[in-house]
Structure 1
Amino acid sequence: MIVAEQLTKRYGDKTAVSQVSFTVQPGKVTGFLGPNGAGKSTTMRMIVGLDRPTAGTVTVNGRPYADLRAPLTEVGVLLDAKAVHTGRSARNHLRAMAATHGIGRGRVDEVIELTGIGSVAGKRAGKFSLGMGQRLGIAAALLGDPQTLILDEPVNGLDPEGVRWVRQFVRHLASEGRTVLLSSHLMSEMAQTADHVIVVGRGQVLADAELSHLVRSWTTNTVAVRSPRLTELVAAITAPGPEFTVTVTEPGAAEITGITAASLGDLAASLGIPVHELTSRTGSLEEAYLALTGEAVEYKSKEIA
């Protein structure tokens, strides 16, 4: 379990993290989301003792990271896949890490095979592609078979097979009762991976909820309908009150909020109006995320007309 309480970090006049509190529970994959500059990396660095908090506390399994006697066996960390000795082979890099904790060479071979880098384990890590570097970083995080895993953008640079493997593997780890904190900018991937989501913006927690609850709270379900008598159907829907919104997408087709597909289908049937399409569309994590962080984006791109 990871517990942050009123965690704050300032660099001179800039506050990178401000009074952040959250708990990362075991048995779940917790997604850690936020725009660039939101304070995610700073928070993760404070969790593992690379940055000292200006105020507040953060513990892993009840203790500060610095107090852990054998950190590799308790917390697996991937914050920067490039943090390797570029002149060493992948295998020797992992062996050097293992030696600091008395971890046997057999475990090094296990994580090499587990992460799919067996064919390049004898090559210098400095020559690795971005994807292979990520796999090596994940291997290093898994080296001590830790109960807590903290991964910052672990699928960055991976091919589709690698992305799916990471998704399935972290969910497997969580199913074993381990604590998994996962940061990513890929909303579609996070939607398939995370059980719980913490969203930060401008150094503060914007949301801390189960993924399904977050999506329901910040998005609107829409019903797509297509009918040769659309105008008549829309008139019947909107007659009772203004709680419905109708957006005509093309002649004879519209997207409607404020009504379920079942209710709309029943209404059309009762009026004898033919319906050629009736599709319910639920909101996405990406839509919820954008709605949450719209005012907290520090580096915003120009809209394309």
Structure 2
Amino acid sequence: MIEAVNLAKHYGAKTAVGGVTFTVQPGMVTGFLGPNGAGKSTTMRMIMGLDKPTRGTVTVNGKPYVQHRDPLHQVGALLDAKAVHTSRSAYNHLLAMAATHNISTKRVNEVIDMTGLAAVAKKKAGGFSLGMGQRLGIASALLGDPQTLILDEPVNGLDPEGVLWVRNLAKHLASQGKTVFLSSHLMSEMAQTADHLIVIGRGQIIADAPIAQILSGAQQAKVRVRTSEVTRLSQLLGNNGVKVECNENETLEVSGLDARQIAAIAMENNVLVYELTPLTTSLEDAYFNLTKDAVEYHSQEFNNEPVAAAVKGL
């Protein structure tokens, strides 16, 4: 379990993390989301004792990380996949880590096989691709069979098979009662992996809830309706707080009524409807809705004509 209470980090006048309180529970995968500059990496570094909080506390399995006598057995972390001795082989890198905790050579071989590194285990880590470096970082995090796993962008550089493997690994470890805390910019992957989300923006917690709750609360549910009588059906549906948006191809998007209610109104008024599809909110939509006021770095929209013209000329 990870517990942060009023955790804050200031760099002079700049606030990186502004006094956050949250708990990462065992037995589930908790996703950590936020725009660039939101405070994710700083928070993870404070959890691992790499940055000292300006105020507040954070504990892992009941203690600050630096107080654990057997940290590799308590916490496995991937914060920077490049933090390896580049002239060492993957095997020797893991062997050196294992020696600090009396971890057996058998376990070193187990994590090498588990992470798909067997074919390159004797090669120097400095020559690894981004994806293989990530696998070595994950192997290092798993080495001590820790109770808590902290992974920052674990699928960065991995191929589809590797992404699927990380997803299944996270779920498997959570099913064993372990605490799994991971960040990712891949919303589609987080939607399939996480059970719970903590969203941070400008150093403050924006959301801390089960992923299903965040999705359901993102915006009012919509139903896509196709009919040849768009205008008439719009008039029939558009009252009592119901919102009707008219799109192309004889299509409406209706908020405030479910598919059964729309079908009943259409049938009562002899309006032919040939599609009724409930539209689910994606995690990407929910995320952008939550963080729209917390983005520090804004990109220029491409519907801006001068920008679009410049891009077209590239």
TM-score (norm 2): 0.95
Give 2:284's aligned amino acid.
Answer: E
* Equivalences for residues 22-101 of structure 1 within 5 A: 22-101=22-101
For residues 125-178 of structure 1, what are the alpha-carbon distances to aligned partners after superposition, in whole Å with 9 as ceiling and x for unaligned?
A: 111111111011000000000010000000011111111111111011001110
Deviation at 1:229, TM superposition (A): 1.4
Alpha-carbon distance between aligned partners in 2 of 1:167 and 1:3, rounded to the nearest angstrom? 24
Give 1:255's aligned amino acid.
Answer: E
Alpha-carbon distance between aligned partners in 2 of 1:122 and 1:132, rounded to the nearest angstrom? 13
* Equivalences for residues 254-269 of structure 1 within 5 A: 254-269=252-267
Match of 2:212 in 1: 212
What is the alpha-carbon root mean square deviation over aligned residues?
0.9
Alpha-carbon distance between aligned partners in 2 of 1:73 and 1:236, rounded to the nearest angstrom? 64
Match of 2:132 in 1: 132
Alpha-carbon distance between aligned partners in 1 of 2:64 and 2:165, rounded to the nearest angstrom? 31
Match of 1:228 in 2: 228
Deviation at 1:74, TM superposition (A): 0.8
Deviation at 1:193, TM superposition (A): 0.6
> Which of 221, 244, 247 is 1:246 aligned to?
244
SS in 2 for 1:16: strand
Alpha-carbon distance between aligned partners in 2 of 1:235 and 1:14, rounded to the nearest angstrom? 53
TM-score (norm 1): 0.97
Match of 1:275 in 2: 273
Deviation at 1:219, TM superposition (A): 2.2
Asked whether 1:292 is paired with 2:283, we answer: no
Alpha-carbon distance between aligned partners in 2 of 1:98 and 1:251, rounded to the nearest angstrom? 63
Alpha-carbon distance between aligned partners in 1 of 2:141 and 2:248, rounded to the nearest angstrom? 51
| Contact preservation (8 Å) 1:219, 1:284 | no
Match of 1:184 in 2: 184
Asked whether 1:118 is paired with 2:112, we answer: no
| Contact preservation (8 Å) 1:220, 1:282 | no
| Contact preservation (8 Å) 2:237, 2:244 | no
Deviation at 1:61, TM superposition (A): 1.1
Worse-matched range after superposition: 172-181 or 256-265: 256-265
Q: Which runs of 4+ in 1 moved over 6 A?
A: none
Q: Structure 1 regions of 5+ residues with no counterpart?
A: none
Deviation at 1:49, TM superposition (A): 0.3
SS in 2 for 1:57: strand
Asked whether 1:142 is paired with 2:142, we answer: yes
Query: How many aligned residue pairs are there?
Result: 303
Give 2:98's aligned amino acid.
Answer: A
For residues 81-119 of structure 1, what are the alpha-carbon distances to aligned partners after superposition, in whole Å with 9 as ceiling and x for unaligned?
A: 000001011111110111111101110100011011111
Deviation at 1:251, TM superposition (A): 3.9
Give 2:275's aligned amino acid.
Answer: E
| Contact preservation (8 Å) 2:3, 2:24 | yes
Deviation at 1:261, TM superposition (A): 1.3
Match of 2:109 in 1: 109
Alpha-carbon distance between aligned partners in 2 of 1:110 and 1:267, rounded to the nearest angstrom? 62
